[in-house]
Structure 1
């Protein structure tokens, strides 16, 4: 049964080529929004909190601050609406899932940048 699921995923879910990123990186996701007959491109820029799943069903969570309110969004990696992903900064973190980042404010919420 597991082989059948893997076969269907490989055959029917298209593979997108995006740059590699990890938790702690600041990325910008450009995605398409359809409003009635019109469609437009919107972007979401924030810090990657986690990468979850494997293969074609992989998702990632991004957190940004909108004023004083934190906004998180979960994107499937193979979402057809995603047009491109840009990696703005590479961050140095010691964990794969940085949920502790939600509770930090001010200078403590900074992530050191990886050079090179």
Structure 2
């Protein structure tokens, strides 16, 4: 398992972003991908070999944080779901705040919209026309 260093340096794992980290998990002699989606609250040590980033999510009402090494071969990919502009580089204050207060503090820049297939987009329009004719 090798790591493409140049590709990892281009990842946008800045604090405030909501990301989905896909990690390889070995079960027996098979590998599977496990996703961990949450808010990046810290990125430490830039892109040197020991660099890490911390992701926080709420699972069943309990806050869960995981620290991922940037250059870990176990990380398959990172999908940035939402980008936000923050004024601090470490968002440790979100541990004590409610979700509504956190959303108010961060300015959302863009949301990654999933593109629908052309067939799926046309189907609802046809049914609406049929209902108007009735």
Quick check: TM above 0.5? yes
- Runs (5+) with no aligned partner, structure 1: 1-12
Greater gyration radius: 2
1:48 to 31, 35, 40: 40
Larger helix share, 1 or 2? 2
Residue by residue, what CA displacement relative to the aligned partner does 1:87-116 show, whole Å, maximum 9, x if unpaired? Answer: 111112100001001111141131331249
Show the counterpart of 1:10: none
Q: Distance in 2 between matches of 1:95 and 1:72?
A: 18
Show the counterpart of 1:114: 109
- Runs (5+) with no aligned partner, structure 2: 112-134
What is the aligned length? 105
Show the counterpart of 2:76: 83
Higher relative contact order (CA 8 A, sep 6+): 1
Given that residues 22 and 51 in structure 1 are in contact (C-alpha distance below 8 angstroms), is that contact kept between their aligned partners in structure 2?
Answer: yes
TM-score (norm 1): 0.81
